[in-house]
Structure 1
Amino acid sequence: MVLAVPNAVRPTLIALSHLRWDFVFQRPQHLLTRAATDYDVIVVEEPIWTDAAAPGVEFLDREHGIRVVQPILPHGTSPADSLDHQRRVLDGLVANIKGSLTLWYYTPMALPFSRHIDADVTVFDKMDELSAFANPPPLLLALEAELLERADVVFTGGAAMHKASAHRHANIHCFPSSIDTAHFGAARGGLPDPADQAAIAHPRIGFFGVIDERMDVALVGEVAALRPDWQIVMIGPTAKIDPAHLPQAANLHWLGGKSYADLPPYLANWDVGFMPFAINDATKFISPTKTPEFLAAGLPVVSTAIADVIAPYGDLGLVEIATTAPETVAAIEHVMARDRNPWFAKVDAQLAKGSWDQVWSDMHALMLAANPSTTNIKETARV
């Protein structure tokens, strides 16, 4: 147990992220909002490119005391000047820190402007295999190798990624996607149908999340074509794909992005959850947060063959796995027809095993073990 020190300066955690804080509420938001109970949390995003005449910086205050920092760069800024600006922004933040400092990386691409920082603890939360995404930066793999050497503790976002990475660090731990059961469990009690969904007929087969290269959009279109009497509801922003290339049909509804707070009413009025992930390099190591979220909402789920969905959810009979469009249709028909009471009992037993609160508590214990002095004031220069 770590005892609070009267009048102690709160430690600071600076997260270096390739993801926008306000884009989609996912793993970083779940973890860092909880970290804010123990740390002053600052999230430094990748630069925003604008028509500004000179580099700048935007500070945004978000719920739970999170401070979001966005470096601003004019279009045409050279890579060297971009790194220099990001380094100066980070140095300005660090110069004002009196307590201990944890650097929390989501992307190795932040190393060139942060490797000089003398952090008390360095964490790499490897939530995705970024090198498998479309058009990865040429230096990504080399920088990831360097970050793995520097990190005091490494977390992986799922079992498949942990299995592939376990040999690369002596202090690496698997923390798959967890669940805010109370938030999504509200859908089980029945909630009013959102206005942009109310006129859509049933049965409704729904997806929520980022619509990008990890989605098998062809499968979505094929399922809609095979069962024109089903309504396929797709919620989420698009990224890295052209929305004009998404399949279109009378029973296929692209409703756009929704806030995390607004998701339960949509799920409460669906009949089946759908996870049409493509089987490609970008999905080889994903651990979809929406798997337990669908289950907490009381929705039967049909997913493509993602390793971290098959084990444990498919193996336990909590999620149906399908590969082709005909298999997907058959699986959806099966889950809509079955008695849900025995399934609910198994679902709730599985969900009771974890929570985002527990994940953060376990991560924090590992961070403190990596350097127990992080609760104390460090007076030495960091840069």
Structure 2
Amino acid sequence: MRNGVGVRNAGESGSIVALDKRPVLICFSHLRWDFVFQRPQHLMCRFARSHSVHVWEEPIFVSALIEPHLETRRAASNLTIVTPHLAEGLSEEAVEAQLKRLLDGYHAAQNPQVLWYYTPMMLPFSQQLEADCVVYDCMDELANFRFAPPRLLELESELFERADLVFTGGYSLYEAKKSRHGSAHPFPSSVDIKHFAQARAIPTENTVPTFGFYGVLDERFDIDLLAAIAEARPDYRFIMVGPIVKISPDELPKRDNIFYPGPAAYEDLPGLLAEWDVALMPFAINEATKFISPTKTPEYLAAGKPVVSTPIRDVVRHYGRLEGVKIAATPEEFVQGCDEALALIRSDGEWLAEVDQALSSMSWDITQARMAGLIARVVEDSPASVEAVA
């Protein structure tokens, strides 16, 4: 067993990460841990209460790198982030070969209980690993996103064959995937209610009606819609928070009443939300948004902010009946929704009782516990478990 081969602990070059006796969960994620705090982070932090969790990120390519290696760091108790560093200019085959060698030498890969995939693209260098349970947590239809890898659909089919469990990030995605696996389960976006409810207790004195969005600004963001509502309501202020990805900053509309402050940390979101009157979800209606179930919907509501959204299928399905959620298909309807939501936030707040009831069973703790229960059943029925009992 080659424990620690090729592994460097960031800040402590050459040291070996200590083994622990908890069952091991290796999570293969295309989303960097420090990018945006969302579904993978919520779930892996909770699984770290019972497992030794190792989140394997996409490689960082470095010029003039002499030897490929892993850098690891502790993100939380029992939760390690693993980042491969490879030389620039490698072929796809060489990348996969080096990643396989690094993974085979990583101590957690010697006896994992759970292999958890967010992307099929990490299957080629990890398919040699055995585990009691393989999970494919399909949080998005990645094949519909801009710049999707050509092999993604082929590898997803292989992952469906390998997986014991398939979780989906929403009901629309579940309906699209359930026929492909015998144990598929919908787990739409959940919320840390206590965290976001802090926004309700923070006093604000907006002199200008303020509308906000936080999230990734990419091909799913309706640029033309934002420009139209900003022009229609020049006396409203629009704050678009988040990283710009896969689109040029020059594509975003520039108006005196639109602001792009950049990304915000998860712990700062309640304070950010407190400064808004209304939360927006101006998503484009396209292939990339066909199956999304935005995490921010319950977060906005937990913060006590009414929401104006384009007709994203899962938003309409789960939240369209709430008084605090306005669904708008055209720029004119969106402007009207903004006006109605602004009036609602200035009302007596009775609409929040309905919101709180809708959110009461949507915590990440509940979602993770249900997932853990399904995994436990698979583990109990695994050959290794049966042999141990015998």
Give the TM-score normalised by structure 2: 0.90
Partner-residue secondary structure (3-state), 2:350: helix
C-alpha displacement at 1:312, in angstroms?
Answer: 1.3
C-alpha displacement at 1:80, in angstroms?
Answer: 1.1
- 1:201 and 1:251 map into 2 onto residues whose CA distance is 14
The superposition leaves residues 307-361 of structure 1 with CA deviations (integer Å, 9 ceiling, x where unpaired) of 0100110134441100222111111111222335331110000011220000000
For the pair 1:341 / 2:354, whether they are aligned, the reply is no
For the pair 1:19 / 2:31, whether they are aligned, the reply is yes
For the pair 1:296 / 2:302, whether they are aligned, the reply is yes
- 1:177 and 1:264 map into 2 onto residues whose CA distance is 18
> Any unmatched runs of 5+ in structure 2?
1-19
Shift of the 372–219 alpha-carbon distance from structure 1 to 2, 3 Å rule, reads: same
CA-based RMSD:
2.1
Q: Who is 1:223 aligned against?
A: 229
- 1:379 and 1:97 map into 2 onto residues whose CA distance is 18
C-alpha displacement at 1:96, in angstroms?
Answer: 6.3
Shift of the 360–18 alpha-carbon distance from structure 1 to 2, 3 Å rule, reads: same
Q: Who is 2:142 aligned against?
A: 130
Query: Which amino acid is 2:115 matched to?
Result: L
Q: Who is 1:270 aligned against?
A: 276
Q: Who is 1:82 aligned against?
A: 95
- 2:109 and 2:169 map into 1 onto residues whose CA distance is 32
Q: Who is 1:30 aligned against?
A: 42
- Equivalent residues in 2 for 1:276-287 (5 A)? 276-287=282-293
Partner-residue secondary structure (3-state), 2:376: helix
Q: How many residues align?
A: 366
- Equivalent residues in 2 for 1:1-383 (5 A)? 9-54=21-66, 55-94=68-107, 97=110, 100-190=112-202, 202-338=208-344, 339=347, 341-372=349-380
- 1:185 and 1:64 map into 2 onto residues whose CA distance is 25
- 1:260 and 1:191 map into 2 onto residues whose CA distance is 20
> Any unmatched runs of 5+ in structure 1?
1-7, 194-199
Partner-residue secondary structure (3-state), 1:341: coil
**Do 1:192 and 1:265's aligned partners in 2 also have CA atoms closer than 8 Å?**
no
**Do 1:267 and 1:297's aligned partners in 2 also have CA atoms closer than 8 Å?**
yes
**Do 1:224 and 1:230's aligned partners in 2 also have CA atoms closer than 8 Å?**
yes
Partner-residue secondary structure (3-state), 1:183: helix
Give the TM-score normalised by structure 1: 0.91
The superposition leaves residues 17-55 of structure 1 with CA deviations (integer Å, 9 ceiling, x where unpaired) of 110000000000000000000100000011111214232
- 2:348 and 2:64 map into 1 onto residues whose CA distance is 56
- 1:114 and 1:183 map into 2 onto residues whose CA distance is 36
- 1:137 and 1:17 map into 2 onto residues whose CA distance is 15
C-alpha displacement at 1:171, in angstroms?
Answer: 0.5
Shift of the 317–168 alpha-carbon distance from structure 1 to 2, 3 Å rule, reads: farther
Shift of the 91–270 alpha-carbon distance from structure 1 to 2, 3 Å rule, reads: same
Higher relative contact order (CA 8 A, sep 6+): 1
**Do 1:215 and 1:276's aligned partners in 2 also have CA atoms closer than 8 Å?**
yes
Q: Who is 1:196 aligned against?
A: none
Moved over 6 A (4+): 376-380
Shift of the 96–287 alpha-carbon distance from structure 1 to 2, 3 Å rule, reads: closer
The superposition leaves residues 92-120 of structure 1 with CA deviations (integer Å, 9 ceiling, x where unpaired) of 2256645x521000000011101111111
Shift of the 144–340 alpha-carbon distance from structure 1 to 2, 3 Å rule, reads: farther
**Do 1:205 and 1:270's aligned partners in 2 also have CA atoms closer than 8 Å?**
yes
